[in-house]
């Protein structure tokens, strides 16, 4: 990798020209010969073509690392997505009349399962959490259409 970067900085095909800063013979219009260690602090060290190639290599490495990162990292679903995914399953349980979203006293989001009455068997069957979101049962009574 260091040879690749060194080759990008030092282009053998660029003719030697006098440096605009120090007057020495260097490669490129403004750049110093990096390969031989002839650099001045603060002087432009890259020729324009080499600089663009170096930027392209860095950009390609950055893009490819981002794609790997995105594929490895799965985004966690929102509570709305989790509720939508499990609503039909929860409503099929005996005594469940509604599924909603609320907050616990500490402010955390929770999936609320509404029951038509006290149903200890159904409460025991309910999962404690769905994909990281807590589930809480509440007796809401029967739901009537108006």
Tell me what pLDDT residue 2 has. Answer: 43
Alpha carbons 74 and 1: distance in angstroms, whole number? 31
> In the chain, which segments carry CATH 3.30.300.50?
79-139
Pairwise pLDDT comparison (41 vs 119), residue with the higher score: 119
DSSP strand E in 19-130: where?
Answer: 25-27, 96-103, 109-115, 129-130
Specify the pTM.
0.50
* CATH architecture designation of domain 79-139: 2-Layer Sandwich (3.30)
Alpha carbons 126 and 133: distance in angstroms, whole number? 13
78-104 residue pLDDT tens? 999 999 999 999 999 999 999 999 999
Tell me what pLDDT residue 17 has. Answer: 64
Tell me what pLDDT residue 132 has. Answer: 92
Placement of tokens 């005996």 in the chain: 94
**pLDDT reading at 105 higher than 70:** yes
120-141 residue pLDDT tens? 999 999 999 999 999 999 999 8
Mean pLDDT of 60-84: 74
1-32 residue pLDDT tens? 444 444 445 555 556 666 555 666 655 544 55
């Amino acid at each position: 990798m260091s040879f690749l970067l060194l080759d990008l900085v030092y282009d053998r095909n660029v003719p030697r020209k006098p440096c605009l800063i120090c007057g020495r013979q260097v490669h490129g219009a403004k750049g110093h010969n990096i390969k031989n260690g002839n650099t001045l602090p603060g002087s432009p060290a890259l020729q324009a073509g080499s600089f663009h190639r170096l930027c392209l290599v860095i950009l390609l490495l950055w893009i490819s690392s981002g794609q790997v990162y995105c594929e490895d990292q799965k985004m966690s679903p929102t509570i709305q997505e989790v509720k939508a995914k499990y609503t039909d399953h929860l409503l099929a349980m005996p005594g469940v009349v509604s599924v909603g979203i609320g907050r616990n006293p500490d402010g955390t989001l929770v999936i609320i399962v509404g029951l038509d009455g006290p149903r200890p068997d159904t409460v025991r069957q309910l999962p404690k959490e769905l994909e990281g979101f807590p589930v809480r049962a509440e007796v809401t009574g029967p739901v009537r259409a108006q």
